[in-house]
A and B are shown apart, each in its own frame.
Chain A
Amino acid sequence: MKLHYYPGCTLKEKTTNLDESTYAAMKMLGYELVEPENWTCCGAEFPLNEEKIVGLAAPARILRQVEMEGGDKVVTACAFCFNVLKQTHIALLNDPLKQKRINAYLKDDIRIDPVTKERTTDFPEYRGDVQVLHLLEFIQKEIGYEKVRSLIRRDLGNLRAAPYYGCRLLRPKGETGIDEPDDPSIFEEFLESIGIGVVDFPFKQECCGSYLSVSLPDAASEVSYRILRSAKLNGADMVVLSCPLCYYNLDRRQDRIREKFLEFTGMPVLFFTQILAWALGVEAEILGLDQHFFDPRPVLGITDKAEVAS
């Protein structure tokens, strides 16, 4: 079955492991992912300033393209892209004036074929009918945990994973969240469905430090460390998440965390699509497991590959 999928820029550059594992897992679940043509960056941050309407142009264009291609929904694996697209969808749905302004602007789009130089103009209005779903939601609502359970090929029963939500999947409350921000369970349900042990830990909705990683890296690694330590103290073998920035702070920053907190010995951090694809029987080579700072292959029992790589 064909399904519109918006990957986002980070998944094509810094976290290709999230993109590739998403393709692999969804193929096993019977879906062929289709990227909307000519997609651009979604903006990464939803413009909170009401007047900064230009920030809605790019995400609205992406939604319009899905609509033009006959889609009624689009899924994302990146928590940031999900947040921006979903908030844009809601903003346009609830505010007819905003929708009118954006449509008036986007109508004048020009698209030029690089080979024939043929120009496409006079674009249709975006009607606002495209549903934005995070892949975790899509699995819950459209595929169903029973189906996932029936397709599991690898037994992960001896492993325990800590689901890390971060902020973007859940907030702002009542608008974009895929679950109740104060007491979410969708990630736990997902992990249960793939047969892995689930660890509950108090830091699962804490901020990872986000962009402080750029301006105040020490502050970011401190909060990231708290999250990883809490997961570890509660018996997790790995942290599972969906956000490329959380992944950066929790995995790639472990070098800095180790320098600062000597007792920290490291923790595998995986994207939910990687563990899903692995459980569904996808070969390890195409999951980008070699891109991680803390090698997750030993904990998954892929020891020989880990030796080859190191």
Chain B
Amino acid sequence: MSKIPVEVKDKSSKKKTGGPAGTEAMVPIFVMGKRYEVPASLTIQKALEYAGYQLVRGCGCRGGICGACGTVYRFPGSYRIEVGLACQTVVEPDMYITQIPFFPANKAVYDIEKLEPTGSTVAALYPEIFKCVGCGTCTRSCPMDIDVMEYISRAIRGDVAGAAELSFDCVMCGLCSARCPAEEAQYNIGILCRRLYGRHIAPRAKHVNKVVDLIEKGKFQKGLEKLKRMKMAELKKIYNEREIEPDMAEEYWEPEDKTFIIVE
């Protein structure tokens, strides 16, 4: 058994070398079986566009957050199915790629206020959770490095808080669901657990109530009124001269002017 650290997804620095001076190296990729030569530094998403595909769906934030561009690929000679987000994964030579921008999944409708944060709730909304055979394919299919089987396992045994925590990084791309032999919608179960946790288990944030209370009592009213009466030039001046937290500020950095700072 071996432990390997997180793979660095950006391999572009390696691939860029080797081309003629001034031009970028090209690599062959296969999109749905057809061969294209694309610049080696591109992400799969940009490579698809370079190859002439117009992405209307399956290209949300382009920043690795929205989960719209789940992609599977393989290399010749390997049985292993690899996964990644098209917008985050840099192309590699001979990748066989297909993007799975949407995968239909069972989605329960519920009123979170009326639910209890228990395993029975999860089981009632997603009874198919008990079809899980523990094959582990979901974990192998997650581009976000989430131990999907582990959080589903927690949900099965009623550990809603555990399932919420372990599924926290999920971007809802649906690749786990696409590959699940038990036809689960893992990511919908995960978000149910996170919602149950947020609404019913996590302690209420008392300091937020305190701040709301202070706002309602008019702590900021005077300041606002003052700003409203200012001329545009004046506003610009105080905006530009405002005190800004330095980039590498200490954890307990505080501004000079503490008029509007609320101390706990």
B150 interfacial by beta-carbon distance below 8 Å = yes
Complex Cα spacing A10 to B79, Å: 37
B49 interfacial by beta-carbon distance below 8 Å = no
- Tell whether A117 pairs with B145 under 8 Å between CB atoms, given A9-B157, A12-B158, A41-B132: yes
Interface 0/1 of B48-78, CB less than 8 Å to A = 0000000000000000000000000000000
Q: Chain A: which residue is nearest B152 at the CB level?
A: A40
A55 interfacial by beta-carbon distance below 8 Å = yes
Which of A105-113, A183-191, A243-251, A256-264 lines the interface with chain B? A105-113
CB distance from A210 to the nearest CB of B (A): 15
Complex Cα spacing A118 to B7, Å: 9
- Tell whether A123 pairs with B1 under 8 Å between CB atoms, given A41-B153, A112-B145, A117-B6: yes
Complex Cα spacing A139 to B145, Å: 42
Q: Chain A: which residue is nearest B150 at the CB level?
A: A38
B6 near A57: Cβ-Cβ < 8 Å: no
B150 near A118: Cβ-Cβ < 8 Å: no
B12 interfacial by beta-carbon distance below 8 Å = no
A43 interfacial by beta-carbon distance below 8 Å = yes
B157 near A12: Cβ-Cβ < 8 Å: yes
What residues on A are CB-neighbors of B19 within 8 Å?
none
Q: Chain B: which residue is nearest A116 at the CB level?
A: B6
A114 near B157: Cβ-Cβ < 8 Å: no
What residues on A are CB-neighbors of B118 within 8 Å?
13
B3 near A41: Cβ-Cβ < 8 Å: no
Within 8 A of B (CB), among A90-139: 105-106, 108-112, 114, 116-124
Q: Chain B: which residue is nearest A10 at the CB level?
A: B157
B156 near A121: Cβ-Cβ < 8 Å: no
What residues on A are CB-neighbors of B142 within 8 Å?
112
Selected from A13, A39, A105, A110, the residue in CB contact (under 8 A) with B158 is: A13
B139 near A120: Cβ-Cβ < 8 Å: no
Complex Cα spacing A43 to B136, Å: 13
Within 8 A of B (CB), among A35-84: 38-41, 43-44, 54-55, 57-58, 61, 68
- Which label, helix, strand, loop or mixed, suits the secondary structure of the B interface? loop
What residues on A are CB-neighbors of B120 within 8 Å?
13-14
Complex Cα spacing A109 to B148, Å: 12
Selected from B5, B132, B139, the residue in CB contact (under 8 A) with A118 is: B5
What residues on A are CB-neighbors of B6 within 8 Å?
116-119
Interface 0/1 of B122-133, CB less than 8 Å to A = 000000001011
A122 near B2: Cβ-Cβ < 8 Å: yes
B153 near A68: Cβ-Cβ < 8 Å: no
A13 near B136: Cβ-Cβ < 8 Å: no
Interface 0/1 of B105-142, CB less than 8 Å to A = 00000000000001110000000001011111001101
Q: Which residues of B does A touch, CB under 8 Å?
A: 1-6, 118-120, 130, 132-136, 139-140, 142, 145-147, 149-150, 153, 156-159, 165-166, 181
A-B contact pairs, 19 of them (CB 8 A): A9-B158, A12-B157, A40-B149, A41-B156, A41-B157, A43-B133, A54-B181, A55-B133, A106-B136, A108-B140, A110-B136, A110-B140, A110-B147, A111-B150, A112-B142, A114-B165, A116-B6, A118-B5, A120-B3
